[in-house]
Amino acid sequence: MSVEWLAGPLGWNQFAWPWAFAALLLPLLAYLLLPPARHAGSTALPVPFYTALAAADAAPLSGPRWVRIAALLVWLLLVLAAARPQYVGEQVEVPVTGRDVLMAVDISGSMRQEDMVFEGRRITRLLAVKAVAGEFLTRRVGDRLGLILFGSQAYLQTPLTFDRATTRTLLYEAEIGLAGRETAIGDALGLALKHLQQTESEQKVLILLTDGANTAGSVEPLEAARLAAGEGLTVYTIGIGADARQVNTLFGRRWSNPSADLDEASLRQIAELTGGQYFRARSLQDLQSIYAQLDELEPAAADPEVFRPVSERFYWPLGAALAMALLLGLVQLWPALNRRRVAQYAG
């Protein structure tokens, strides 16, 4: 049912439950079919202000016609609210790329290494990833996004969803060691492949970030990469960690390599086998540049999803009915209560 002439910011143009208007006939049916109420004789409920109620019957504005009209109007408003009037807005197109993007983030113990620099202070690798990858997720409008966290085991933290805010929040809440202290790159690849096999998207992308080598899990990374290539999954790998540098120690300046455990050869092979690309992030600026490149992935052609926003309007007639019922009660009782108050003062 549509009522276009009522459309507007405070109006409506459709009813969610139009069948509720059948209730309009209930008062008439009750009047025609039910017998008149009988007086209960001596049985009565004590009402402290009965005198005021009795006097209200004689109030000038409370004649039967006026009361019935007001009661009928209240009933009409209640039925109108029960029909749930709604305002349906203009069509809105939501861009959809048709691309499924999974992010697999290493949260093993080595991600606690503080070799990233932000505004002159050192921060952990994981904190740098949260900052940069979180912005990346915000920009991926139209993609279905998912999140895998892996350490000694791999976990699907967020299934594929258009809810970018929730995916970003769960990334921010990830803690080092939550999935174990070691690094199961193969298991992360296998879990991503298993999850993406259940989708019908033509473009499936995995962005895998780690700072180490495969030291745990039951799946070999290269074998998982071959299976991923057969399923059309493109894997972009990111190796994070600073280069070797000289540090001051008690025995003088010595060379330290915080990325000694990074298996760049395997990460490069995984990307090549799946048609992706390997990136090396030695600093926060490198990481930002990498995600900027990943952000330029060509979107797949797909028809945009169209929806019409719906706003509920039932509270307007419901509020009007309650206000009118309250006003009716006050008008009925006020003259009698006022006379009683004057009588009390006079006595």
Taking only the tens of pLDDT, the chain with its 347 residues reads 434 434 445 567 788 888 888 888 887 887 788 887 665 555 555 555 445 445 444 444 445 577 778 888 888 899 988 988 888 877 766 655 568 899 999 999 989 988 888 888 889 989 999 999 999 998 888 788 999 999 999 999 999 998 999 999 999 999 998 888 899 999 999 999 999 888 877 788 999 999 889 999 889 999 999 999 998 999 999 999 887 665 555 665 665 566 778 899 999 999 999 999 999 998 889 999 999 888 876 554 455 667 677 788 888 888 888 988 888 877 777 766 666 666 666 55
Closest Cα to residue 229, out of 276, 299, 280, 264?
276
Closest CA to 310 of 86, 58, 118: 86
pLDDT at position 162 is: 87
142: nearest Cα among 183, 200, 97, 180? 97
Asked if 102 and 196 count as a contact pair (C-beta separation under 8 A), the reply is: yes
Q: Are 246 and 259 in contact (CB under 8 A)?
A: no
CATH class of 96-302: alpha beta
Q: What is the pTM of this model?
A: 0.59
DSSP per position, 185-227: HHHHHHHHHHHHTT---SEEEEEEEESS---SSSS-HHHHHHH
- pLDDT for 3 equals 41
- Beta-carbon contacts of 330 under 8 Å, excluding residues fewer than 6 positions away, are none
Bridge partners of 104? 148, 208
Rounded to 5 degrees, what angle do the CA atoms 299, 303, 309 make? 110
CATH 3.40.50.410 region(s) of the chain?
Answer: 96-302
In the 8-state DSSP scheme, what is residue 21? G
Which phi and psi angles does 227 have, rounded to 5°? -65, -40
* Residue at 333: amino acid letter: L
At 38 the pLDDT is: 66
Query: 253: which strand partners?
Result: 248
Residues 14, 3: contact at Cβ < 8 Å? yes
Of 184, 222, 173, which Cα lies nearest the Cα of 108? 184
| 331 Cβ contact list (under 8 Å, min separation 6) | 59, 61, 62
Indicate the burial class of 67 (C-beta count within 10 angstroms; 0-12, 13-18, 19 or more): middle
Q: What is the pLDDT of residue 51?
A: 52
pLDDT of residue 174: 93
In angstroms, the CA 160 to CA 346 distance is 78
